[in-house]
Amino acid sequence: MKLVKVNPAYSFNAVDRLVNDFFLQGLHADRYARNEISVKPASNIYDLENSVRIEMQIPGFSKEQVKITLDNDLLIIRGEAAKAEESASNYSRIEFKTQGFEKKFKLNEDLDREKIQANFANGILILTLEKREEVKPVVRNIEIA
């Protein structure tokens, strides 16, 4: 069973992330400030016996800000950051900013498009994608005659 990620997230290497974040916020600070560059949230994918489970880490978002769309074989997860009315003169330092995200997953034919469940709690989005009946492994003991 394959689940192909369309837009790969940042590298897990800490040095790569540091360099990427520097250039993302440094060279493209104007685009970053206007939310034209989206973040790719970290995700875990589990291939279980009867389903595939995707967990995405999206702290700072409510479930109303997250939209999940299935477009044929493409599962699209988007998060819209809340628009804050803020003036730069009110802050002496800004070290983080919540911004929107988008992540796409290409689904294979083994997954049932009609049986997708989503739950959201404590900044973790959990998607459960059931496998089709004909794909689920059949495990049974066979007696020797």
Q: Note the pLDDT tens digit of each residue in 120-143.
A: 999 999 999 999 887 666 677 777
Q: What is the CA radius of gyration of the chain?
A: 20
- The answer to whether residue 10 scores a pLDDT higher than 50 is no
Give 82 or 108, the one with higher predicted confidence.
108
Average pLDDT, the chain: 77
Helix (H) or strand (E) segment spanning residue 26: helix 14-26
Give 119 or 95, the one with higher predicted confidence.
119
CB of 80 closer than 8 Å to CB of 68: no
- The answer to whether residue 30 scores a pLDDT higher than 70 is no
- The answer to whether residue 109 scores a pLDDT higher than 80 is yes
- The answer to whether residue 110 scores a pLDDT higher than 50 is yes
Dump strand ranges (E) for the chain: 3-5, 43-47, 51-57, 66-71, 74-79, 101-107, 111-121, 124-131
Predicted confidence at residue 144, as pLDDT, reads 77
